[in-house]
Amino acid sequence: MKILVCISHVPDTTSKINFTEGDTKFDTNGVQFVINPNDEFGLTRAMWFKEKQGASVDVVNVGGPETEPTLRKALAIGADTAIRVNTEATDGFAVAKQLAKVIEDGGYDLVIAGRESIDYNGGMVPGMIAGLTNANFVNNCINLEIDGTNVTATREIDGGKETVSTTLPLVIGGQKGLVEESDLRIPNMRGIMMARKKPLQVVEPVAANAETASVKFEKPAPKGAVKLVAPDNLDELVNLLHNEAKVI
């Protein structure tokens, strides 16, 4: 079984975010980038298939040379080969077009993508990949079992979970539940050294027009001032909640 894991290069959630050019561009200065968490859950599940079922695991990213350290980390975790599509990730459709070409050229049986990236939270790419490659699709996937070409998957739905059966080829939009946070792998020294020798292939992009564009960014409003009330002063607390906050 050939598995391709789609890797997004996203800012660490602890990074301080700023915008430039009149709040129309994201400022990358001083920002630490990491593997998108939803993709990391998928990569860890792919490693399970590699170890238990002998699958091969490739990783792919759409982006410039600055994304290669993130791909190298995926190789250090255990992926066999990395592919970088040499173009800026502009919007979900353009990214999906690039990934679909890689999938078609590579003949992959299973494509694991995160259900969304934590930077733009578009949630579009996995479904678009499935549509462009005519593959089956399961989104919000929290469990995945494969026996030959038969697949059993569990996905989150409103108010519960749903278990479905399907067949390969398959695209999933994965998330926490494919594995737990405690199962995520930290690259060890041996993995880091081996990653330096593993192939990282750079491919040129296919023609693809961006269908959407970010017009402007806006930070959340700053938190308001906090009033502290002594625990024994219930009358004051009730007065503030009634006359100022107007919640009672």
Q: Flag whether 232 is in a domain.
A: no
Looking at residue 220, its pLDDT comes to 86
38, pLDDT greater than 90: yes
3, pLDDT greater than 90: yes
Number of domains into which the chain is organized: 1
Q: Taking residues 107-132, what's their average pLDDT?
A: 96
Looking at residue 152, its pLDDT comes to 98
DSSP percent split of the chain into helix, strand, coil, nearest 5: 30, 30, 40
Q: Taking residues 96-120, what's their average pLDDT?
A: 97
Q: Flag whether 23 is in a domain.
A: yes
Q: Flag whether 49 is in a domain.
A: yes
Residue 114, helix vs strand vs coil = strand
Looking at the DSSP bridge assignments, the partners of residue 160 are: 157
User: Residue 37 is part of which domain span?
Assistant: 2-217
Residue 28 tokens read as 């990358």
Over residues 16-27, the pLDDT tens digits come to 989 999 999 999
Q: Flag whether 224 is in a domain.
A: no
Q: Flag whether 172 is in a domain.
A: yes
Looking at residue 245, its pLDDT comes to 86
Q: Flag whether 154 is in a domain.
A: yes
Looking at residue 61, its pLDDT comes to 98
Domain holding 96: CATH number?
Answer: 3.40.50.620
Mean pLDDT of the chain, nearest integer: 95
Q: Taking residues 120-134, what's their average pLDDT?
A: 95
Looking at residue 10, its pLDDT comes to 96
Strands 18-20 and 25-27: antiparallel
Over residues 190-230, the pLDDT tens digits come to 999 999 999 999 999 999 999 998 899 998 888 888 889 99
Q: Flag whether 53 is in a domain.
A: yes
184, pLDDT greater than 90: yes
Looking at residue 223, its pLDDT comes to 84
Distance CA 138, CA 212 (A): 24
This prediction has a pTM of: 0.89
Q: Flag whether 170 is in a domain.
A: yes
